Structure 1
């Protein structure tokens, strides 16, 4: 780092390492403008003449070896988990795949990925062979998998839009077949209940019900002899006319319809051999007797005993009315019978699981879950409960003690909203929102991303805010830790006494210093419109800049300094437009709507009575603003007109800071400033690099890449040569392209841009793409399309590729095929499921022991006992996965 008192040096000559780009530049060279000092000794900002601009948008790219990997992580869909019969493995459904996890180790074992890219609507284990799993997709196709090896063994094509499925074994035509019952949308707009018989090499189906009602879910019981379909406030119960039909064509059902006062949200069936509670007549224990429990949108639960008799019988023989249970404030998201039928288990929009004892009417609660419950599943033996929550995590509990011993946590990004037409059109008009995320500078396999405290409840009108920092290992595809870095609510009931929703602060920016010791975050909180109107004249925005120091002992970020309102206008906080870290230095820089550029650095905090000299073991530190630059003058604006957009980026050595500012009018181009990071002085300015508002920028050697709302430009800062592309290859840009994502990678000398483009005349016809360009030729080398909207685009310094994070919480690697993948694929694991990982040693012991045997502390050095205390200094239900726990124990015992 050079001395601030040294005179400014002349511009550096082009280096030999820069010849990779300079060879492709045109022969026309534009002379670089010199700085002319004013009388007061300061440098004046003078725009230079426009340079030659090379339009590379029309060039054709050659076939490349870049590809997009299969998605990692992912958001768990609203499908019930499924246990194997031995309860050693559990299946969790994603949007387009099914993940298999080991219950003993909570580690991912297999990823079953159907190749049609359609949404997975259900999956069922083969009752005849537990090593086979059937996966059903929304286009009606069915695939059969050997989940122990991860290989697909059979496939059946389908037709029609399938909404929900259930299955059972059926003896038909002298052969045992898997019968699939599905709700699908017919060509005439009506809903159909169809039966599909699967056999090797062929599949045949029959429609057993057509209804104008908007049914969307179904469940079957008694091996298909009882079918329950529901949707909205309507429920239909069908019973087979023949106990054992001779063929598929002869299958017929008798249906009964009942309309309830409110919408049905969930339902569960229990096959009751003998209806003991409300037995009436000799038909109560027949082969069609079932018990039904229904969860409703108003928070109530209805319990029907002998439901077939109630729904299909005459008025005299229906029996008693259903039993009504009510505790949940809002809708009931999941409801289940216990195996013995004595309990009903429910979960709603509260982080509480409720167990209803039907005989006594008493309730038992399991509170303080990490988020509200989405799905509940009881294991085949009834000894385990699987609770899937809205924060993209699944907890497996013991049914007796309600003690968790397995937790599966995915990437906990904001969940996708419901895809209704109105919401899709509204979403298409919104800017492309980005999620604060960075790769750890020292450990590139660790992803640091801002995630919500808990998931969004159904019916919530506000988007979940990100107040928690999650660390995720993208190499092993596993969760590491999460930590609150902004103010969080003490209760999950985020409703004020007036009925308005209480929001938490939202992390807008985060970054980590190059040595990994410091992290800077910016979180903002804004009052609700109702509260803001009651307090006119009071600033309704709270914004904090926080500096965190990494603690190796506790493996947590410790808050060192909090800066209130780092940027302000007229005494009120204003948003921060950008945050950047300075390479090779422990400094950060921020730029705000007020047009101020501030440099932040650590300093020693003196304390009275404490030794703060060089001999002090640990000096207290704080952060301060060492310098600030007012950018309103260079852009010709005034304080009354705040900035609308800005992008900042440092050069590779940290000596130069580039600031990209928007134009003041549509006819004027944007302005780029080159600032000496050490002296905090503007050394050069340039207009005409880009058109529109700047979205992101990055340095590649001496070249500056700027992505704006209309183009992407590469500026050779030494030769003052600009090349640009209009990004018009994929169609006209949508209004959401105003927030393009950019990442540069100097290892492969490429840069990537994530954008969304219009592909039709309708507002909702939007496609997301990620384009990778060769910085030397500005030709696209890869243009893969994305299923979901990209939220973050990061450069992988190890592989030379890129990491794309989308709205479905998927992680995808975008890179060349010749570079080795850094991700451990579950398919590389052994086929023998009985000796996989730690399952061989922990498979039967985890459930029987909930405490770790204490080590003999007298035989261990003090440093090792302290290290072990740090490893186990958390409650048992928040311990990390077994692999991480084993690694921490080994490091504490044998680490230097």
Structure 2
């Protein structure tokens, strides 16, 4: 069993202490990536639901490179303590409710070194009380609890209750934690000794708009908040009176920008973002503030002056920004399921960790057919549409991006109304050709356009544009495209009542220097009673072309464009055709008020059997007589209103053409908008349980997928990715000081004998070791010991002599 397709950006990642690893929350696991190569190193498996937080235990001093411990929280209601260098689960703390967010102030304390007289390790968790009805208007489902991680127990009562669970924020010093709730920011001061809930003091800061995020200054009593309108508020010297006396603050002195009785000396407002602020992060020295949102731009604010700089064209809305222990390395999480590693302070992208593209919402105004993704069965790849006018080629077996092709030459625009999008993607059977359809919606009734593009490439995932055809079927939408196996031919069907046969031609110009030109042109046009052509498919050998005309399907000779036969009448418009069993049978799918799945015997020109069910997707085996369908639940209209579209369940059914009784069935979740495909078993490193030649892949509406043996004994739920695609060790990369000045000489402090060669210090090392800009160099506390050690000569002690 192989699973994948998890979101990399559902929660903020975390860097290891040496900044060589990045811990990413991916579904029920924590994936550890190398920051130098972007390759997966290992996975931490132990949670049974989505991981919501990961907190690395920081350690100062020369032993930090050997420390690799972290805490994680999950919707399964547990807190886990890991050694992520060996992927070992050390401890698990059980909570009472699903955990949405977790922070651990003063986490520098080692769990194993905490004695009874010393400070304990505490975690503040934001949970969701699932026992309260979700549709109740005033139900307080969000709760903030305190847990003693050293003793694995909950401490005291509730710290706070809200309508919905909120994300928690913590200062780097661990002195403050906070959440935002509607138009208020709640901030608590955390003592560094034994914590009791009734002793934790809280203040509230008010705003006129709903707040979305919070950030604490690393050294000063300064907190920043972002709201839904794009404004950023900076409260200075907050909580000085309430934390000390726990009394209301009176407006005895003028406090510019402070609202009501808020305990702050001043409040400054900045505004650049056009929509809500997704993240706020102070730089390690507290001089700058980073902000980001839907625009896909990182804004760098100078805290003292309010001046700003920009890092534009990241190509997707931004979600979170995390800095690392290394001052020249940071990472940004984007809404397109990508994590970019940035070289600071230039914010240049040096490496990207790309997950599968998340679902793309097609405009409601588009009435034609569209395909959110498409499989290429022989290679185990899936192509997905994205909202930045590109398509992604993703390897299902490796759970990683292979390539990305830009379909429309447009920059990312953070607008609510999508007017241009990729509607259809089709690959040729051998993967050497690709066809796409991009649609421009009309604005005030003008400017609508449909563009058909053909692409050619040497291998799958790497294509160059070959031909652009504007309005291939006049002003009608394209319903389907199919490539003919073994030929440079494609067919596009149209809701305008015709289909066109396209061929790839080449000609040689003899004037001057010889060069080859190639492109696609229309060879012939066909129609049937001017009825809308809704689906098309080629037989396995390419000798027969099937085109659906609403409730009937027609068979054609693709070379002569001659109608061979007209077969059957379905109860609803056909939207999908697929040949099966060496093209002896044809499966038709109809949707609408009376959906239907029908199997047609082409030798008898009649229907073999049919079901009245809604079919989301179909896939057929390459050389066998089996096919699989994905159905979604036939819920009532009232039930559909109460259930989100992508949360609807469904069933996968495996059929043989000889019998209408399914060979096997599997219950799945989120079937709406999902898909299935048969994949060759030789692409997997896991042998098939029954020696079958095909594996079955299922991808749900959230683009999470599982690959399994359809005739094996394994079940879909609870499977893990045991495929050994992780690297055994990470590549060594140069970051921080070594990336700028090279490696320092290594000294062995445990060497028992003096060196044979007299000590020769580097000539004038102090002139180069501290050269460069101050914001790029590591702090002096990090360089001082190495610098002094390079100037001293080690001599043997009397004991060593």
TM-score strictly above 0.5: yes
Deviation at 1:389, TM superposition (A): 1.7
Distance 1:581 1:373 in 2: 38
Instruction: Say whether residues 1:131 and 2:68 are aligned partners.
Output: yes
Does the residue aligned with 2:240 lie in a helix, a strand or coil? helix
Instruction: Look up the SS of the partner of 1:712 in the other structure.
Output: strand
**Which residue of structure 1 lines up, in the alignment, with residue 206 of structure 2?**
259
Equivalent of residue 666 in structure 2, options 783, 804, 819? 783
C-alpha contact 1:695 1:740 (8 A) present in aligned 2: no
Give the deviation of 1:583 after TM superposition. Answer: 0.7
State the structure with bigger RCO (CA 8 A, min sep 6), 1 or 2: 1
1:196 aligned to 2:147? yes
Please say if 1:514 is aligned against 2:429.
yes
CA apart distance, 1:606: 6.5
Contact kept in structure 2, 1:771 and 1:780, CA below 8 Å: no
Contact 1:434 1:791 in 2 (8 A): no
> Matches of residues 681-692 of structure 1 in structure 2 within 5 Å?
681-688=562-569
- Quote the Cα distance in structure 1 between the aligned partners of 2:375 and 2:12: 32
Q: Which residue matches 1:565?
A: 471
The residue aligned with 1:472 is: 394
Aligned residue number for residue 119 of structure 1: 50
Alignment: residue pair count: 681
Q: CA deviation at 1:578?
A: 0.9
Residue 310 to residue 564, structure 1, CA distance change in 2 (3 Å) = farther
Q: CA deviation at 1:335?
A: 0.9
Asked if 1:541 corresponds to 2:448, the answer is yes
Give the deviation of 1:608 after TM superposition.
7.4
Q: Residue 337 of structure 2 corresponds to which residue in structure 1?
A: 392
Counterpart of 1:784 in 2: which secondary structure?
strand
Give the secondary structure class of the aligned counterpart of 1:492.
coil
Q: 1:884 corresponds to which residue?
A: none
Mapping 1:348-387, distance limit 5 Å: 348-387=293-332
Contact map agreement 2:213 2:278 (CA 8 A) in 1: yes
Partner of 1:840: 732
Q: Aligned equivalents of 1:405 and 1:627: distance in 2?
A: 49
Specify the alignment match of 1:76 in structure 2.
Answer: 8
Query: Which whole-Å CA distance do the structure 2 matches of 1:115 and 1:726 have between them?
Result: 40
What SS does the aligned partner of 2:386 have?
A: strand
Shift of 1:591: 0.9
Deviation at residue 811 of structure 1 after TM alignment? 3.5
Partners of 1:819 and 1:517 lie apart in 2 by: 36
After TM superposition, list the pairs within 5 Å mapping 1:859-874 onto structure 2: none
| Correspondence for 1:625 | 522
Aligned to 1:18: none
Question: Could you report, residue by residue, the CA deviation over 1:428-476 in whole angstroms, capped at 9, with x for unpaired residues?
Answer: xx999741423275xx0443333221xxxxxxxxxxxxx2122223333
Distance 1:844 1:376, change over 3 A: closer
In the alignment, does 2:39 pair up with 1:104?
no
Shift of 1:700: 2.6
Counterpart position of 1:183: 126
What is the match of residue 856 of structure 1? Answer: none
Q: 1-side partners of 2:739 and 2:145: how far apart?
A: 41
Partner SS state of residue 603, structure 2 = coil
- The answer for the alignment partner of 2:588 in structure 1 is 706
Equivalent residue number for residue 686 of structure 2:
none
After superposition, give the CA deviation of every residue in 1:489-512 in whole Å (9 maximum; x if it has no partner). Answer: x46355xxxxxx664532222223
In structure 1, the partner of 2:405 is 483
Residues 681-723 of structure 1: CA deviation (Å, up to 9, x unaligned): 2212221567564434233311212233333232232244644
Distance in 2 (alpha carbons) for counterparts of 1:518 and 1:846: 45
Cα 1:550–1:256 change in 2 (3 A) is same
Residues in 2 aligned to 1:327 and 1:391: alpha-carbon distance in whole angstroms: 23
Change beyond 3 A, Cα 1:515–1:253:
closer
Say whether residues 1:650 and 2:538 are aligned partners: yes
Pairing of 1:719-730 with structure 2 (within 5 A): 719-720=604-605, 722-726=607-611
CA deviation string 1:506-543 (max 9, x = no partner): 22222233343322222211123xx22xx5xxxx5301
1:244 to 193, 200, 211: 193
Q: Work out which of the residue numbers 210, 217, 228 in structure 2 matches 1:297.
A: 228
- Cα 1:90–1:486, aligned 2, differ >3 Å: closer, same or farther? same
Contact conserved, 1:788 with 1:808, CA < 8 A, in 2? no
CA contact (8 A) 1:753 1:771 kept: yes
The alpha-carbon distance between structure 1 residues 365 and 824, as it changes in their structure 2 partners (threshold 3 A), is same
Question: What does the per-residue CA deviation read over 1:18-40, in whole Å, with 9 as the maximum and x for residues that have no partner?
Answer: xxxxxxxxxxxxxxxxxxxxxxx
Aligned residues of 1:471 and 1:479 also touching (Cα < 8 A): yes
**Residue matched to 1:40:** none
Aligned to 2:413: 492
| 1:208–1:251 Cα contact (<8 Å) kept | no
Matched, 1:599 2:504: no
**Compared CA separation, residues 173 and 721, structure 1 to 2 (3 A):** farther
Q: Does 1:217 align with 2:160?
A: no
What is the alpha-carbon distance in structure 1 between the residues aligned to residue 93 and residue 655 of structure 2?
Answer: 42
Aligned twin of 2:617: 741
After superposition, the Cα gap between the structure-2 partners of 1:83 and 1:583, relative to the gap in structure 1 and judged at 3 Å, is: same
**d(CA) in 2 for partners of 1:143 and 1:698?**
50
**Where in structure 1 are there 5+ consecutive unaligned residues?**
1-68, 276-289, 418-422, 454-466, 495-500, 633-638, 664-670, 729-736, 851-896
Cα deviation for residue 304 of structure 1 reads 2.6
Give the match's secondary structure for 2:72. strand
Structure 1 contact 378–385 (Cα < 8 Å) conserved: yes
Q: CA deviation at 1:844?
A: 8.0
Q: Identify the match of residue 158 of structure 1 among 95, 105, 125.
A: 95
| Deviation, structure 1 residue 804 | 3.0
CA drift at 1:675: 1.9
Q: Provide the secondary structure at the position in 2 that maps to 1:307.
A: coil
Deviation, 1:90, is 0.8
Q: Deviations over 1:585-631 (max 9, x none)?
A: 110011111221211112235657367xxxx6x53122222122211
Return closer, same or farther for 1:620/1:325 CA change in 2, 3 Å cut-off: same
2:457 to 545, 550, 553: 550
Secondary structure in 2 matching 1:762: helix
Counterparts of 2:448 and 2:277, CA distance in 1: 35
C-alpha displacement of 1:239: 3.1
Match of 2:547 in 1: 659
**Closer, same or farther: CA 516–239 of 1 in aligned 2, 3 Å:** closer
Residues in 2 aligned to 1:788 and 1:196: alpha-carbon distance in whole angstroms = 38
Superposed, which structure 2 residues align to 1:298-313 within 5 Å?
298-309=229-240
User: Given that residues 672 and 689 in structure 1 are in contact (C-alpha distance below 8 angstroms), is that contact kept between their aligned partners in structure 2?
Assistant: no
CA distance in 2, matches of 1:269, 1:586: 61
Structure 1 distance, partners of 2:169, 2:153, is 21
Measured after TM superposition, the shift of residue 184 of structure 1 is 2.6
What is the alpha-carbon distance in structure 2 between the residues aligned to residue 651 and residue 512 of structure 1?
Answer: 15
The CA deviation at 1:579 is 0.6
Over 3 Å counting, the alpha-carbon distance change for 1:741 and 1:830 in structure 2 is closer
Match in the other structure for 1:207: 157
Identify which of 494, 505, 525 aligns with 2:440.
Answer: 525
Unaligned runs of 5+ in 2: 60-65, 133-138, 254-262, 683-693, 743-801
Is contact 1:575–1:593 with CA below 8 Å preserved after alignment? Answer: yes
What are the superposed Cα offsets for residues 770-822 of structure 1, whole Å, 9 maximum, x if unpaired?
5141314341423130346444433324551233333333242243476999x
Q: Tell me, in whole angstroms, the C-alpha distance in 2 between the residues paired with 1:197 and 1:207.
A: 13
Query: Does structure 2 retain, via aligned residues, the 8 Å contact 1:110–1:150?
Result: yes
Structure 2 matches for 1:50-61, cutoff 5 A? none
TM value normalised by structure 1: 0.69
Cα deviation code 1:106-135 (max 9, x no counterpart)? 11223335553x333222224579534333
Give 3-state SS (helix, strand or coil) of 1:514's partner: coil
Pick the aligned partner of 1:803 from 690, 697, 706: 697
- The 8 Å contact of residues 223 and 235 in structure 2, kept in 1 or not, is answered as yes
Counterpart contact for 1:377–1:387, Cα < 8 Å: yes
Deviates more, 1:374-383 or 1:150-159: 150-159
2:580–2:626 contact (8 Å) kept in structure 1: no
From the superposition, tell whether residues 323 and 711 of structure 1 become closer, same or farther in structure 2 (CA, over 3 Å).
same
